[in-house]
Structure 1
Amino acid sequence: MSEEMTAEKARAAAWFRQLRDDIVAAFEGLEDSHAEGPFAEAEPGRFEVTTTKRTSEDGSDAGGGLMSVMRGGRVFEKVGVNVSEVYGVLGEAAQSSMAARGVPGIEEDPRFWASGISLVAHMQNPHVPAVHMNTRMFWTPNAWWFGGGSDLNPCLEYEEDTGHFHATQKAHLDPHGEGEYPRLKAWADEYFYIPHRHRARGVGGIFMDDQNSGSWEADFALTQDIGRAFLPAFVPLVEKRRGMDFGEAEKDAQLVHRGLYAEYNLVYDRGTKFGLATGHDANAVLMSLPPMAKWV
């Protein structure tokens, strides 16, 4: 495998873009098919697509991506599905952070390339859970790795929904070894924890980072199946709950839970910190924030 990994980068970036296209089509399909219940009389939502650009410190082009956001639909109050492919030289803070994580040679040669997909959905109906998903590949001249996962964030939990979400992820991960789902579930439980609230931000899912088993093909296949698990894990929950009636108490619970979600993303989320520190489009980085939230 060459130092530059040109072919591998192209395959990964193409996969993230295809996954984005599949999810956008599925979500717009949910908007079209919602015919009964709250918000059914509204116009079906559509994604607004914006090209994003990253500029390096010297002002030169450093890649970018697509930011796709839907607001005020029948089913989705705000959902973003972003893809990016960025490159350049890491700043000193990012170099130090990665060196502390054990990335070899990053301070001697701080060039990097990264591509991925990032999704956050905040729903109109509080009975429908919010959800997050991302997968990514990162490259430096001396290392490469994959990361990402998905987790469910209901404000009103239904145990059968949580069970379906986790069972679907397990089914997609089991072909990679019986230990993969427990490993990634435990990692998600640790990563999506909010220390200052002494609680998890949701009901968990799967997560990994710095994934390099020594086999790029095996790790790419694992990353793809994390992505493939998303729609069958989430869409049935939307279809089951989107027509349920709700009142002020349920909406209030949703807004309070969104405040919790915002706290996590602004204080702890590694992707948010990296995106802002490396000069990526701030609107794309902060796409994950809810349209409305509440603190008590």
Structure 2
Amino acid sequence: MTDMMDDQKTRASAWFRDLRDQIVAAFEDLEDTQETGPFAQAPAGRFEVTPTTRTSDDGSDAGGGLMSVMRGGRVFEKVGVNVSTVYGTLGEPAQKAMAARGVPGIETDPRFWASGISLVAHMQNPHTPAVHMNTRMFWTPNTWWFGGGADLNPCIEYPEDTAHFHAEMETGCAPHGPDYYARYKAWADEYFYIPHRKRARGVGGIFYDDHNTGDWEADFAFTQDVGRAFLPAFLPITEKRRDTPWDATDKDTQLIHRGLYAEYNLVYDRGTKFGLATGHDANAVLMSLPPLAKWV
């Protein structure tokens, strides 16, 4: 059983890295093909890739990954695509949080392994929506699960863009269960909500966590299809909106909306809390924050 799970961990980690490579290539291609607009004469953006490390409390190696960030591009103002594979022993606060979620045996055996991809893109053109996507696998000695999803965050909403994004998410869910999309859309609506603002941070998408049907292969296939759905969901919207004229009022609207995004990620986001609590590279964890934001 241990050897089987080790193989599954290896496969999952490799998949997240492969998805990262696909997305990085697609985003750099968008930069190369941007030939109009106020940033068209700037050099095409490229990702700066930095290895990240995690160190356990006793100083031993506890995994790491790659932080890939592009800043000041023609299309992307800031975008990060991170992958990591980390392991070790959960600290007491993380153990209690996992126990509260019903993770079996975590209080007596707090070993863990986690691997995943995390992406957040903030765009130059205010008519082009920001976007978030992540998928991950988590293992403890007594269980495993997958989690993730994607959500669209426009500051200027186009209903047809929202419909397209959700349709692609539904396509990714469809082979795996008739209720997957509806269930995980509802979870996203609940999860990506900002209670102190009494509003959602965007127009939703899908979100799932603790996903374990007992069939690892089926659950891994579902997580792969969620990852595969991302580029078809996001690229056509970006290609359609990236040349839309915009003015100072549009940019102001974008910066204020980014404030909502920053508030959510710093106060409520489960991944941010886990990354900081378990000692992962803080710059990688906070990669999701926008380069500029505004509060009224």
Q: Could you state the TM-score of these two structures normalised by the residue count of structure 2?
A: 0.99
For 2:45 and 2:225, the matched residues in 1 are separated by 28
Q: Do the aligned partners of residues 10 and 3 (structure 1) sit closer, same or farther apart at CA in structure 2, a change above 3 Å counting? A: closer
Residue 283 (structure 1) aligns with: 283
Residue 52 (structure 1) aligns with: 52
- Residue by residue over 1:241-291, the C-alpha shift from the partner in whole angstroms, topping out at 9 and shown as x without a partner, is 001111111000000000000000000000000000000000000000000
* Secondary structure at the counterpart of residue 118 of structure 1: strand
- Residue by residue over 1:178-227, the C-alpha shift from the partner in whole angstroms, topping out at 9 and shown as x without a partner, is 21110110010000000000000000000100000111011101100110
Residue 108 (structure 2) aligns with: 108
For 2:168 and 2:101, the matched residues in 1 are separated by 31
* Secondary structure at the counterpart of residue 102 of structure 1: coil
Instruction: State the AA in 1 paired with 2:172.
Output: H
Q: Percent identity?
A: 78
Q: Which range moves more in the overlay, 4-13 or 222-231?
A: 4-13
- Residue by residue over 1:139-166, the C-alpha shift from the partner in whole angstroms, topping out at 9 and shown as x without a partner, is 0000100000000000000000000000
* Secondary structure at the counterpart of residue 139 of structure 1: strand
Deviation of residue 2 (structure 1)? 3.0
For 2:274 and 2:177, the matched residues in 1 are separated by 31
Spell out the pairing of 1:87-126 with structure 2 (5 A cutoff).
87-126=87-126
Matched, 1:84 2:84: yes
For 1:204 and 1:123, the matched residues in 2 are separated by 18
Q: Which range moves more in the overlay, 175-184 or 34-43?
A: 34-43
* Secondary structure at the counterpart of residue 236 of structure 1: helix
Residue 26 (structure 2) aligns with: 26
| Count of residue pairs brought into register by the alignment | 296
- Residue by residue over 1:78-111, the C-alpha shift from the partner in whole angstroms, topping out at 9 and shown as x without a partner, is 0000000000000000000000000000011000
Deviation of residue 38 (structure 1)? 3.0
Residue 152 (structure 1) aligns with: 152
Structure 1: gaps (5+ residues): none
* Secondary structure at the counterpart of residue 196 of structure 2: helix
Residue 13 (structure 1) aligns with: 13
Whether the 8 Å CA contact 1:38–1:243 is kept in 2: the answer is no
For 2:194 and 2:144, the matched residues in 1 are separated by 28
Residue 170 (structure 2) aligns with: 170
Residue 295 (structure 1) aligns with: 295
Q: Could you state the TM-score of these two structures normalised by the residue count of structure 1?
A: 0.99
Residue 267 (structure 1) aligns with: 267
- Residue by residue over 1:20-63, the C-alpha shift from the partner in whole angstroms, topping out at 9 and shown as x without a partner, is 00000000000001112231111100000000000001111100
Which contiguous aligned blocks of 4+ residues in structure 1 show a shift greater than 4 angstroms? none
Deviation of residue 4 (structure 1)? 7.2
Instruction: State the AA in 2 paired with 1:34.
Output: Q
Root mean square deviation of aligned Cα = 0.8
Instruction: State the AA in 2 paired with 1:220.
Output: F
Whether the 8 Å CA contact 1:71–1:79 is kept in 2: the answer is yes
Whether the 8 Å CA contact 1:45–1:70 is kept in 2: the answer is yes
Instruction: State the AA in 1 paired with 2:111.
Output: R
Structure 2: gaps (5+ residues): none
For 2:37 and 2:124, the matched residues in 1 are separated by 11
Residue 221 (structure 1) aligns with: 221
Whether the 8 Å CA contact 1:75–1:125 is kept in 2: the answer is yes
Instruction: State the AA in 2 paired with 1:151.
Output: D
Deviation of residue 3 (structure 1)? 7.6
For 1:183 and 1:38, the matched residues in 2 are separated by 41
For 1:158 and 1:140, the matched residues in 2 are separated by 42
For 1:146 and 1:173, the matched residues in 2 are separated by 14
Q: Do the aligned partners of residues 3 and 268 (structure 1) sit closer, same or farther apart at CA in structure 2, a change above 3 Å counting? A: farther
* Secondary structure at the counterpart of residue 237 of structure 1: helix
* Secondary structure at the counterpart of residue 114 of structure 1: strand
Q: Which range moves more in the overlay, 168-177 or 132-141?
A: 168-177
Q: Which range moves more in the overlay, 164-173 or 259-268?
A: 164-173
For 1:185 and 1:195, the matched residues in 2 are separated by 18
